[in-house]
Amino acid sequence: MADINQFKIIKELYTGEQLTVYRVEDPKDGESGILRLIHQLPLRDEWNQLYHEYEAKITNYKHLPAVKVLDVWDDNKPFVLMEGKEGNFLEKEQMLTGKQIDQFVDAVVYLHKHRILHGKINRFNIWIKENGEITLYGAGERTVFQPDRKITIQDDLKQVLSILKNHSSLAESHFEGISFDHIEELQGWILRKLAIPKPGLVNLGESSKTVFESAIHEKNKREEPELVTPAPAPPKEKRKSGSLFIGVAAAVLLIIIIFSINFLKGGAEKTSIQASESKQETAVEKDNPKVKAVEKKDQIDLSQFTQVVSGWDPIEHASIKLAGNEYTLVAAAQKHDDSSGKVKVFVLSQGKKVGESPEYNGNSSETKSYIDSFLTITADNGQTGLLVFELPDDSGLISEVIALTVQANGSTKQVWSDYGTEVKQSKDVISVTGTELSNLSLKNNKFTLEKK
């Protein structure tokens, strides 16, 4: 397969009547991208005009690709090269997570706010990167390929609903008899149906507070036992004041004597128990010195972290053993301003950094609150680890939950993310409670997701 100008073709992703889509790489800098090459030469001017207008409006939005190159190839065949990380188009039977649906709909909202109608929202224009994030391609191309057919807002809304019918957990009955005039109305409906938190969009659907408030209230209600108020004692007959005083004084004196005896006895027992435990601990260390060594190794001195990774403050850590080697996973933060920053996970081994994760947003005034529920499990063969952690939002009611695999060489890869209200671990399974229950585990050395 011939390269297109200086761009090396890595893979043909899609070919149709009007265009072919490739994943390419620029040998100069190794950067990958998505190249869209049209087949019809007479449409060159309309194609260039479309992407010149797109380039002027869409410059830095993470779920819509920016234009990198607009050029021609071989007999003046026009093409556009757009940003694009490794990934693939949405598969036929693939289900989108709540987070991915949120990103997909956000992209359409952004287009409409900038007076761009997409016109052909289908799975061949929905790109899912390796980290699970969505990018929407092909905006406006239908105006070039079918100039006689005017694109309307209703076209986009119907196409968004079609994606949801085929690639979401919503039942068919939810789509009966519904209609919307604008994408913001449809977005609000989606937020309510899927209970997707959307800070700042109070009037669109339900915010994270209203969606999850009742569930969290029930959880707190279960966790906090109800205090039992004793019933008032029945009235007693009046006694003479002198007799009452003597009785009370005697009772108080008796209580003090009993308390003193128990206190002295308890102190002696506690001292005896502590001495016994100390002896047992010493015996364990003698019989198995590795036990104590492992415990001390897990308790890493995070004050040394800044000598290995500068500019980041450690906020959470965990230890994991892969292929016989000990690794320490350290979540570290950088503060941007009083209410936000960024966080990253670093993999350390023998005092050196051997891997790191992508950067994530921290939403709190305190860096220690950027991350929560830092949990790990290891595959049966000990070759792969799984790290799951929460990125709480500013309300504290909902978190973005991230799952990273860690390999024996220290490299990390994000394999899953979604929103959740609770993360728990039971042996080799980490459960995330959100719009549905997601069980994360490692089976046959591979990440496994089971929904219930």
251, part of any domain: no
179, part of any domain: yes
| Span 420-449, average pLDDT | 90
What is the number of structural domains in the chain?
2
Average pLDDT, the chain: 80
CATH number at residue 367: 2.40.128
Order across the sheet with 429-433: list the strands: 422-426, 429-433, 437-443, 446-451
The pLDDT of residue 370 is above 60: yes
Least confident of 9-13, 96-100, 237-241, 369-373: 237-241
180, part of any domain: yes
pLDDT digits (tens, 9 = 90+) for 426-439: 989 999 987 778 99
What is the residue-wise DSSP string for 33-73? EEEEEES-GGGHHHHHHHHHHHHHH-SSBTTBPPEEEEEEE
* Residue 302 confidence (pLDDT): 66
26 and 172 assigned to the same domain: yes
Taking phi over 0 as left and psi of -120 to 50 as alpha, with beta for the rest, 141 belongs to alpha
The pLDDT of residue 285 is above 70: no
pLDDT digits (tens, 9 = 90+) for 112-165: 999 999 999 999 999 999 889 999 999 999 999 999 889 999 999 999 999 999
Last residue of one domain, picked from the residues 158, 176, 194: 194
221, part of any domain: no
132, part of any domain: yes
Q: What is the pTM of this model?
A: 0.54
296, part of any domain: no
Last residue of one domain, picked from the residues 194, 214, 243: 194
Count CB neighbours of 180 within 10 A: 17
49 band by pLDDT with thresholds 50, 70 and 90: very high
394 band by pLDDT with thresholds 50, 70 and 90: low
302, part of any domain: no
Last residue of one domain, picked from the residues 145, 169, 194: 194
C-alpha–C-alpha distance, residues 129 and 89, integer Å: 9
| Span 27-36, average pLDDT | 92
| Domain interval for residue 59 | 1-194
C-alpha–C-alpha distance, residues 386 and 40, integer Å: 48
* Residue 38 confidence (pLDDT): 93
323 band by pLDDT with thresholds 50, 70 and 90: very high
CATH number at residue 123: 1.10.510.10
305, part of any domain: no
Kindly list the distances between the CA atom of residue 396 and the CA atoms of 64, 207, 299, 370, 407, in Å, as whole numbers in the listed order. Answer: 29, 12, 28, 11, 31
